Amino acid sequence: MKLRRLALCLCAVVLGSAFLSSPAVHAAVIGESHPAQGITAQRIAALPIKQRAAWLNYLKRSEKQQRADRAALAAERKQPGYGIPPPPEEHAHDNSMPLDKDSYWYGTVEARHIADVIVSFQTPAGGWGKNQNRSGSLRLRGQDYVPGNISNFLAKGDFDTPREPGWNYVGTLDNGATTTELRFLALVAQEMPGRDGERYRAGFMRGIRYLLSAQFPNGGWPQVWPLEGGYHDAITYNDDAVALAAELLTAVGNNDKGAYSFVRPAMRREAAIAARRAVECILATQVVANGRRTIWGQQHDALTLQPVAARNYEPAVPSTEESADLLIYLLSLPNPSPEIAAAVHAGMQFLKKAAISGYIWTGQGTPDGRKLQAQSGAGPLWARYYTADTIKPVFGDRDKSIHDDVNELSLERRNGYSWFNTEPQKALKLYETWSKAHPAQIPPEAWRDVDPNNLVLIDTHYGQVAVELAPEFAPLHVARLRALVRARFYDGQSFYRVIDGFVAQGGIGEGDEKKLAHWPPLKAEFDRPVGDDAAFTPLGSPDLFAPEVGHVNGFPAGRDAQEGRTWIVHCPGTFAFARDSAPDTAATEFYIVIGEAPRRLDRNLTAFGRVISGLQYVQKLKRGDPDVDNGVIKPGRGRDPILRVRLAADLPEKMRPHFQVLRTDSDSFADAKQKRMNPGTSFLVRLPPPVLDVCLMPVAVRRVK
């Protein structure tokens, strides 16, 4: 199997991979994960000078706290008469700290025992280890604070090899540790407001102090604190470490439902500040690919903010499950800032695109193990990992290889990891309501500026008409029009043929033949080859006149992939040159489509622009009679004049209008298409089919000056 090694530590991760439709044909190893770097003094020294002091202080604080933790355990073990007890038993997927009981239960003997066990295992730093049964025995003097938490699959160079096997995950946010203990203690403390609840309140506040101390200068949290090195030092979204910490601190800072009244006001204020800093970190680490925000990785380097790998099989790419929970947290925040709203909208767009339908993740307990299999009507579900740029699923194995087909993984890894999930469905459901109160604002990067060299301004008695030209489709015709405009050819001419529901034609008409002689006929440019300079965004609906329709740089276009040709289609506002019967006879006369799209003209006349402003003024032009002289208005019968025509680039900057057009390859336009296709209005008794007409899909334009 061919191996294409790719660097997987960039924010805009590039992993060219096939999708799931035919894994047997396209399955490949497409990359290899590389170990994450820990936080060191040497790495901090490479940061900008202004950032170094905060990070050095953080590192020193971590080292000092780890020495204190070790010293406390050593002091317990030095006391005479005590042997060293065995470490606590590891208890994966622990559910011994329920958070959903009736409030009275947290005052029972059973709940108090769990709270006592929690307090007994609190580390000197104030945090807790993971994978322990909190309903078991109290910690013994000299006993390890945490179980071993050593992987059974360690091999040479394994990313999960502990720096020191006897001191592993001593204080962590992994698997819900620390935040779950804190929430449980708070529930017990509420039911025991007197002296009996003092130790639980004290333990809670020590735990909050732990979160405040462990928070990075940039607002994130590591998986383990005091720091343990490797991927444990990364900003950890895996298992919702940051999200759960931020949610808890938000609740404490707001004194949610009065549940944290026992926390000192000063600490509540610190918690609120820490929660806001966490949000800043979340926004700063949202992965950007091809200039667009996507979602988040499981881990991000604390110093560079780039996604990094964790365990051998957890690659440095966006992860849907953790990202869905980050988005749910952002959705919960009242009065979201424009930055938060933009992050949410972008993340939800990615999740919508990443949804997989027609497949099931099945086979648990069978000899062949779990596999992804096609099943009509199944889904949606989401892969755990995706490439940022192509939104294609990827999967990691214990040998650090990265695959584009989950069925190619080793049996142990296929069965032993959550490769697929439905958490995004929950986030998207909440988003439906949230987005109504906070509609998406089109981000600045979704707009493109109209080149003033391609902006033609036609002045009429009714107002100014702005036409954007498309030289990528018809360079000869665009060059001719620019020359005609600069020669003042159209000034004082008229719209002499205006047919209601069809076109408005302007120019010299049957005028001065001598003047026309200076402008010989042009070779037809009815279509052009498909190319990178005319990136085509499919509409996604069938069409009667073209094998495929969509948009190119905002212009409605058709495409024939077999012929390798593309062209501008005749929609309302399309700007084109008229001609005689022979194809190569267009020279000076233009027309603008003003009515129903005359699509029969596609590829029969050269269309090379569209009206982006002022079409309503063209609609006001005096009409001719289509049954008399084919709609030509005779001279002296009230033709509307063309006052003047100018190229925007030729105007002084102060007089030059500036327009922006929505990029038709943007997420914002994709969202607009979805809304147009699925209106979801209560007015309609029968919903129309989810299809679009390319001429009825408006492309937003705004004047910015």
Q: What pLDDT digit, counting tens, does each position of 406-449 carry? A: 999 999 999 999 999 999 999 999 999 999 899 888 888 899 99
More confident residue, 291 or 263: 263
Catalytic residue among 183, 292, 311, 413: 311
Q: State yes or no: pLDDT of 478 exceeds 60.
A: yes
Q: Which residues of 555-572 are buried (b: 16+ CB within 10 A; e: fewer)?
A: bbbbbeeeeebbbbbbbb
Which tokens go with 138?
């109290």
Q: State yes or no: pLDDT of 13 exceeds 50.
A: no
Distances (CA, A) of 360 to 355, 356, 374, 384: 12, 9, 6, 14
Instruction: Compute the chain's Rg from CA coordinates.
Output: 33
One-letter amino acid at 290 equals N
Q: State yes or no: pLDDT of 236 exceeds 90.
A: yes
3-state SS class at 241: helix
- Residue 584's pLDDT band, with cuts at 50, 70 and 90, is very high
| 453: DSSP letter | G
| 295: DSSP letter | -
One-letter amino acid at 331 equals L
% of the chain with per-residue pLDDT over 70? 95
Q: What is the C-alpha separation between 549 and 490, in angstroms, rounded?
A: 33
Work out the average pLDDT over 19-46.
78
Least Cα distance to 44 among 28, 59, 23 occurs for: 59
- Residue 273's pLDDT band, with cuts at 50, 70 and 90, is very high
Which tokens go with 414?
């296929």
Counting Cα atoms < 13 Å in the Cβ hemisphere of 464 gives 12
3-state SS class at 184: helix
Q: Tell me, what's the pLDDT at 11?
A: 33
Q: What are phi and psi of 99, to 5 degrees?
A: -115, 10
> Which alpha helices (DSSP H) does 438-590 contain, by range?
475-486, 513-516
Q: Please, what CATH class does the domain formed by 448-703 belong to?
A: mainly beta
Q: What is the C-alpha separation between 171 and 364, in angstroms, rounded?
A: 33
3-state SS class at 395: strand
More confident residue, 426 or 23: 426
Q: What is the C-alpha separation between 659 and 657, in angstroms, rounded?
A: 7
Q: Tell me, what's the pLDDT at 565?
A: 95
Q: What is the C-alpha separation between 258 and 268, in angstroms, rounded?
A: 12
Indicate the domain borders of the chain.
44-311, 448-703
3-state SS class at 371: strand
Work out the average pLDDT over 469-484.
98
Work out the average pLDDT over 296-317.
97
Q: State yes or no: pLDDT of 7 exceeds 60.
A: no
Which tokens go with 228?
């343990």
Name which of 298-307, 323-332, 362-371 the model is least confident about: 362-371
Decide if 112 is catalytic. no
- Residue 517's pLDDT band, with cuts at 50, 70 and 90, is confident
Q: Tell me, what's the pLDDT at 540?
A: 87
Q: Tell me, what's the pLDDT at 688?
A: 78
More confident residue, 474 or 292: 474
Q: Tell me, what's the pLDDT at 680?
A: 61
Q: Tell me, what's the pLDDT at 681?
A: 61
Work out the average pLDDT over 648-656.
96
Which element (helix H / strand E) includes 403?
strand 401-403
Q: Tell me, what's the pLDDT at 71?
A: 97
Q: Tell me, what's the pLDDT at 597?
A: 85
- CA triple 426-432-434, angle to 5 deg: 100
Work out the average pLDDT over 445-457.
96
- Residue 19's pLDDT band, with cuts at 50, 70 and 90, is very low
Catalytic residue among 131, 149, 168, 175: 175
Q: 44-311: which CATH number, 1.50.10.20, 3.40.50.1010, 3.90.930.60, 2.40.70.10?
A: 1.50.10.20
Q: What is the C-alpha separation between 590 and 427, in angstroms, rounded?
A: 51
Q: State yes or no: pLDDT of 47 exceeds 70.
A: yes
Q: What is the C-alpha separation between 658 and 487, in angstroms, rounded?
A: 23
Q: State yes or no: pLDDT of 322 exceeds 80.
A: yes
Name which of 329-338, 498-507, 681-690 the model is least confident about: 681-690
Q: State yes or no: pLDDT of 9 exceeds 50.
A: no
Q: Tell me, what's the pLDDT at 21?
A: 34
Distances (CA, A) of 245 to 180, 347, 461: 10, 21, 64
Decide if 255 is catalytic. no
Q: State yes or no: pLDDT of 94 exceeds 80.
A: no
Q: What is the C-alpha separation between 165 and 322, in angstroms, rounded?
A: 28
Q: Tell me, what's the pLDDT at 81?
A: 72
3-state SS class at 217: coil
- For the entire predicted model, the pTM comes to 0.76
